[in-house]
Amino acid sequence: MTKDATLLQRRRRLNPEELAEIPWLQLLSPEERERAEADLQIANAEPGDYVCRTGRPVTYWFGVVDGLLKMSSDNADGQTVTFTGVPPGGWFGEGTALKREAYRYNIQALRKSLVAGLHVDTFHWLLDHSIGFNRFITNQLNERLGQFIAALEIDRMTNPDIRVARSLAALFNPVLYPGVGEVLRITQQELAYLVGLSRQRVNEALTTLASHGAIQVEYGGVRVTNLQALRTGQF
């Protein structure tokens, strides 16, 4: 039995507390919300579980209720290129769902995570019937475009401190990841996986950022105290 099958078999309906963590549900009419809630599923993803895999057809639009995922792809040389992390509150894959095409990336759990999914047919039904949902998806696509442009810039940066700063700033995007708040629950090893640096070098960068007042390193996470400094690299 594959991990993918196990993840699918672990799916269940969301409880009221989990539904309250879905940011776009409040934008729907009562009829639209009833249909969405009836279709939403959630599953516990274990570390290493794949939520999406390159080449697989899209069946769900996914979101993170709790935990941390990474979006990556394998290049022609067999090396893994990480695009971004997906923290709590983040919904992803709307472009793939819109086009009903195969995934061009992998989404994998870095730690135990709660991942919700809305079937692609219901996703399209909401696009056809809900103005609020359309606005949400439009904002998602707009923010996602900016995110990937920034990711390209980060990938070309040679200064590790700025690389870590910009990567952290991307994870604190309030539109894409409203569930993060002021503190991102992430370990230095998880951040190293996302940034593409060693854990030791990430530790040095976090120490530098903290000394300049941009962040505070807390037990099990990072608190941002100057998001603008992280975004611009001026600290």
**Mean pLDDT, the chain, whole residue set:** 90
Domain that holds residue 73: 3-151
For the CA atoms of the chain, what is the radius of gyration? 18
The CATH code of the domain that includes 208 is: 1.10.10.10
Cα separation, 15 vs 30, in Å, equals 18
Distances (CA, A) of 149 to 8, 143, 158, 217, 222: 32, 10, 17, 27, 24
Nearest to 176 by CA among 140, 152, 201: 140
Domain boundary among 151, 168, 197: 151
pLDDT tens, position by position, 139-173: 999 988 877 776 666 666 678 999 899 889 989 98
pTM: 0.86
Same domain? For 68 and 124 the reply is: yes
Grouping H, G, I as helix, E, B as strand and the rest as coil, residue 130 is coil
What residues form DSSP beta bridges with 118? Answer: 61
The residue type found at 148 is F
Same domain? For 146 and 168 the reply is: no
pLDDT tens, position by position, 20-68: 999 999 999 999 999 999 999 999 999 999 999 999 999 999 999 999 9
Residue count of the chain: 235
Domain count along the chain: 2
Domain boundary among 117, 151, 185: 151
